Amino acid sequence: MVYLDHAATTPLRAEAREAMLPFLGERFGNPSGLYAEGREAQRALDAARAATAERLNARPSEILFTSGGTEAINTAMLGIAYAMRRAGAGAHVITTAIEHHAGIHAAQQLEELGFETTTLGCDGAGRVSVDEFARALRPDTVLASVMLANNEVGTIQPLAELAAILREYAARQRHRVMLHSDAVQAPGWMAVDARALGVDALSLSAHKFGGPKGSGVLFLRRATPFRPLLLGGGQEMQKRAGTENVAGIAGTAAALALACEGVAERVARVRALRERLREGILAAVPDAAVNGCRTHCLPNNLNVSFDGIESDDLVARLDARGIAASTGSACSNAMWEPSHVLLAMGVPIRRAAGSVRFSLGEGTDGADVEAVLAALPGEVERARRAVAAAR
Ligand code: PLP
């Protein structure tokens, strides 16, 4: 099998699995327990929190473990916006049209709850404009949420520049706007340094970097206004109630440590493979067009539109040849809609309808790329004939 859908999920790293196993077996204690088994689980949580904080250049007290990227994003956006409004800072939120649905739907809920939102568009490469961002700021803006790297086309946003705009705005207007970023797609492919990025909150998902599914991380900068979303016990420093997923958290920390090692070599190797795939497809398939940004792009992402096909048909044909790719966002595959990201980039609907995302991973090699290049041109041709015949 040729697996080129690492943006959807990655295989669990052996070391993450090893780190998890004791907590799925003999070390079953509840970290809140006031006896040896509980203390052992609490020690594992403390170690995972310290290791995760170190990787993100944060303090351990700034790290919350969640049930995944979606929960981290929802918690950050709703939790910060509520707290800011309650403090009388205002009720305006800035976000972008290319966020993952976890962010888009959280913003929609904020609107239902009386917040006003400004949704920034992007250019043809999927980049948000720093000037437009600056113009969207208002005296009642409380939160800006902008993803670090897009899951469909891989475009990287100028997050540190946006943070600088907010610092300057705070100095000039005496009004601080909190900045959250969905950085789910970034670990392993670029530096994720919470302080260098200048964010107040940042969300990660373990299964995108070789950790387990259902486990995520929320960086919440010290003193960031925050109201918990999950209510109950006092876990996670009173910020996220519920008995901790000790095994998942141990696996998350182990996977993040490995993802953050050797990034430059990984990026160079995988980018070369991605370029070979890109050039090979463009040379072999007439009317193929690459979607995304040439300069600010995750090295493992290749989103290509094939004119005159339906992407789910092509993905099924590739699957029959043992190749796993995706029609953009795996999270929204249940019912086909044109990708909101491609539409925001101005890609015509016909081209958006025929787009396929190949996302490479640490285990991808040259043979995988050659297998796709051998199968793809013929399958695109057959997919085109199928669409033409149905007309
Ligand atoms: N944000 C982005 C950019 C993603 O790609 C995903 C997963 O597809 C998520 C958020 C949601 O993460 P999770 O699957 O851990 O809930």
**Is 272 inside any structural domain?**
yes
Q: Is 297 a catalytic residue?
A: no
Least confident of 281-285, 329-333, 380-384: 329-333
Tell me the average pLDDT across 107-117: 98
Please give the average per-residue pLDDT across 373-377, as a whole number: 98
**Residue 232 DSSP SS3:** coil
Count CB neighbours of 149 within 10 A: 26
Ligand 1 binding pocket includes 216 (Cβ within 6 Å): yes
Q: Is residue 169 part of a domain?
A: yes
Among candidate residues 259, 279, 308, the one where a domain is terminated: 259
**What is the tally of structural domains in the chain?**
2
Residues 6+ apart with CB under 8 A from 92: 115, 116, 117, 118, 138, 140, 141, 142
Pocket test of ligand 1: the residue of 146, 151, 298 to mutate, having most ligand atoms within 8 Å of its CB, is 151
Residues 104 and 131 in one domain: yes
* 154 plus 184 within the same structural domain: yes
* Contacts for 227-233: CB closer than 8 Å, 24+ residues apart: 227/79, 227/82, 227/83, 227/86, 228/75, 228/79, 229/71, 229/74, 229/75, 229/78, 229/79, 230/75, 233/32
Segment 261-271, tens digit of pLDDT: 999 999 999 99
Expressed as residue numbers, the domain containing 173 is: 14-259
In a domain, 62, yes or no: yes
Express each pLDDT in 320-334 by its tens digit. Answer: 999 999 996 444 445
The verdict on 251 and 340 lying in the same domain is no
Q: Is the CB of 187 under 6 A from ligand 1?
A: no
Q: Look at residue 191 in the predicted model and tell me its pLDDT.
A: 95
Whole-number pLDDT of residue 330: 44
Q: Cα–Cα distance between 225 and 200 in angstroms, integer?
A: 10
**Which CATH number characterizes residue 188's domain?**
3.40.640.10
Residue 150 CA: which ligand 1 atom is closest? 3
- pLDDT confidence of residue 328: 67
Measure 121 CA to ligand 1 centroid, in angstroms. Answer: 20
Q: List pLDDT tens digits, range 164-207.
A: 999 999 999 999 999 999 999 999 999 999 999 999 999 999 99
Mean pLDDT of 286-290: 95
Predicted confidence at residue 143, as pLDDT, reads 98
Residues 83 and 111 in one domain: yes
With beta carbons less than 8 A apart as the criterion, state whether 200 and 169 touch. Answer: no
Whether residues 248 and 317 share a domain: the answer is no
Say whether both 221 and 338 belong to one domain. Answer: no
Q: What percent of the chain has pLDDT over 90?
A: 96
**Confidence grade of residue 337 (pLDDT, cut at 50, 70, 90):** confident
Measured distance CA(65)–CA(72) in Å, rounded: 8
pTM assigned to the model: 0.97
Could you tell me the CATH number of the domain that includes residue 339?
3.90.1150.10
Q: Does 234 have pLDDT greater than 50?
A: yes
Tell me what the mean pLDDT of segment 384-389 comes to.
91
Q: Is the CB of 102 under 6 A from ligand 1?
A: yes
Q: Is 217 in the pocket of ligand 1 (CB under 6 A)?
A: no
Q: Are residues 88 and 171 in the same domain?
A: yes
Domain contains 362: yes
Q: What is the largest CA-CA distance in the chain?
A: 70
- Answer yes or no: do 209 and 294 share one domain: no
Indicate whether 203 and 64 sit together in one domain.
Answer: yes
4 domain-assigned: no
Is there a single domain that holds both residue 175 and residue 26? yes
If you count them, how many residues does the chain have?
391
Q: What are phi and psi of 188, to 5 degrees?
A: 95, -20
Residues 229 and 281 placed together within one structural domain of the fold: no
What distance in Å separates the CA atoms of residue 155 and residue 294, rounded to the nearest whole number?
9
Whether 247 and 384 map to the same domain: the answer is no
The pLDDT of residue 335 is 64
Please state, for a pLDDT cut of 70, what percent of the chain lies above it. Answer: 98
Q: Of 231, 259, 287, which residue constitutes the final position of a domain?
A: 259
Name the average pLDDT for the chain. 96
Could you say which of 259, 286, 311 is where a domain stops?
A: 259
pLDDT for 33 beyond 70: yes
